[in-house]
Amino acid sequence: MADQLLLHVDGKDQPASDGGEFAVHNPATGEHLYTVANGTEEDVNGAVLAGRAAFDDGRWRAMPPRERARILNRAAVLLAERVDEYARLESLQIGRTLREMRAQLKRLPEWLEYFAAVAQTAEGSCPEFGPEHLNVVRRVPLGVVGLITPWNHPLLITMKKVSAALAAGNSLIIKPSELGPAVPGQLVALLEEAGVPPGVVNFVPGLGRSTGKALTEHPGLAKLDVTGGTETGRVIAAAAGRSLIPVTAELGGKAPVIVFDDVDIDTAVAGALFAAFIATGQTCVQGARILVSRNIYDRFQEVLVTRTRQLRLGDPMDLQTQVGPLVSQAQRDKTAAAVDRAREQGATVLAGGRIPEGAQYANGWFYEPTIVGDIRRDHDLWSEEVFGPVSVIAPFDGEDDAVMMANDSPFGLAASVWTQNVGRAVRVSRRLDIGIVWINDHHRIDPASPWGGFKDSGIGSENGLEAFRSYTRQQSLIINASDTPFDWFGTDEDLRYS
């Protein structure tokens, strides 16, 4: 990784137009990692113009889908070869454990491969239009799309958007989070190495309040796709509404983990632990509310608290570490404040709930994995997204109570249901006002599987055929196949015109 991360516009690396930059630090040690060019409104405009020129001249849009697919598959091969390098850099810049990053990044070539296949097999339609006309409906790319990606899964979430958008034939402007921009930037170079023409994928890092704002308000975009907090999503959706362009927004969550009394407790605790503390809890599908049948609640809580206290918190680059630091001081401060507020409101901290002591933690943004009990539904922690290693645990009485508690949230992104009763699993999942439901599992993903939430968790869906279609629009061609002349104003006869 170079000491400075630059913009990449029209196939060329360049500094910000005003020379501005900011620093990225290692959240585990405070060490300076690299500086980043802070894109300006002028830079954003240049990137959009470059993307538009690339779209208009057809260098990518007009390329046959099969050829686009070959390039995406070449990119998948290159990415697979660089997983270890990218995983190390991801861990350094966001503090997620290297063990987790390696496992996650090994999957990412699948997104390029999947959407390469979709591009080759996508078909239009031919609706019935009567005997005298032929109606051909084809899907065409949108144009220049703006992709705003977060820091918690920098390459994964960038890949989810880029693979679908490119497969459909669009030009792209990527604006990564200022906390983790390095690997998304390297992805752009990799795509051009694989054969994506210069100007098709443009990269403009910068701060959200300036660079992000300039991108979301640019009139030259055909779509906005964002992953981030719900309030950020509202602002971006409003900007898209003013421009009359579509928006996909994957936003906040407060996922329930619903545990019934017929489960093996050790297995369900392991699942809840994974749901709660993978990525140090910094994920929109974190198992933030662990709801347990009252029949097994005491035993489940005992095992969960014991396992939580045993988690190894430390250096994310050590493969023995299980939980790393939070990404920033602001994120740790928010996490600590949420737990302190829960204490003040009468909840009980059963495990964790503090900044760890010791020299190895002194310069990083660490917080102990935390379980909070005696939680009430009027407590802030019941409904507010923390985005840290904090989960609440509460008992329920029967299916109706479990469903009511699970749905008692402004969010509806994800949930998991733990039971050996197939009928119960189906009944409960159907009643959840939630977009992604896992049965006896949590936080599993596949490029073919739709990923999107209900309520305040967002608009639209990533992954799958729907994501590909969302990067296209329909063009309807209506062909007159009749050999009978049509002259509306040349006759008084009743003619069919609609």
Token pair belonging to 177: 């989070």
Same domain? For 323 and 276 the reply is yes
Residue 449 lies in a domain: no
Query: Is residue 485 in some structural domain?
Result: no
CATH number, position 132: 3.40.605.10
Q: Does residue 344 sit in the same domain as residue 245?
A: no
CB 152 within 8 A of CB 94: yes
Burial classification of residue 497, based on how many CB atoms lie within 10 Å of its CB (0-12 exposed, 13-18 middle, 19 or more buried): exposed
| 382 in the same domain as 305 | yes
Same domain for 97 and 117, yes or no, is yes
Owning domain of residue 285? 255-439
Q: Could you tell me if 237 and 259 lie in one domain?
A: no
Six token digits for residue 489: 């104003």
Residue 350 lies in a domain: yes
483 within a domain of the structure (yes/no): no
| pLDDT by residue, tens only, the chain of 498 residues | 668 999 999 999 999 999 999 999 999 999 999 999 999 999 999 999 999 999 999 999 999 999 999 999 999 999 999 999 999 999 999 999 999 999 999 999 999 999 999 999 999 999 999 999 999 999 999 999 999 999 999 999 999 999 999 999 999 999 999 999 999 999 999 999 999 999 999 999 999 999 999 999 999 999 999 999 999 999 999 999 999 999 999 999 999 999 999 999 999 999 999 999 999 999 999 999 999 999 999 999 999 999 999 999 999 999 999 999 999 999 999 999 999 999 999 999 999 999 999 999 999 999 999 999 999 999 999 999 999 999 999 999 999 999 999 999 999 999 999 999 999 999 999 999 999 999 999 999 999 999 999 999 999 999 999 999 999 999 999 999 999 888 889 888 877 776
Count of the separate structural domains present in the chain: 2
Count CB neighbours of 287 within 10 A: 28
- Say whether both 228 and 291 belong to one domain: no
Q: Is 90 a catalytic residue?
A: no
Confidence (pTM): 0.96
Q: Is there a single domain that holds both residue 298 and residue 164? A: no
In a domain, 142, yes or no: yes
What is the C-alpha separation between 1 and 179, in angstroms, rounded?
15
Indicate if 242 and 264 belong to the same structural domain: no
CA distance 80 to 248: 28
| Same structural domain, 323 and 378 | yes
Same domain for 464 and 429: no
Query: Does residue 44 lie within any of the structural domains?
Result: yes
Which CATH number do you get for residue 358?
3.40.309.10
Judge if 92 and 38 occupy the same domain.
yes
In the block, residue with structure tokens 């002259």: 487
Both 277 and 359 in a single domain? Answer: yes
Whether residue 375 lies inside any domain: the answer is yes
Residue 445 domain-assigned?
Answer: no
Select which of 110, 217, 250, 368 is catalytic.
250
Q: Which residues contact 261 (CB under 8 A, 6 or more apart)?
A: 293, 295, 296
Query: Which residues are bridge partners to 325 per DSSP?
Result: none
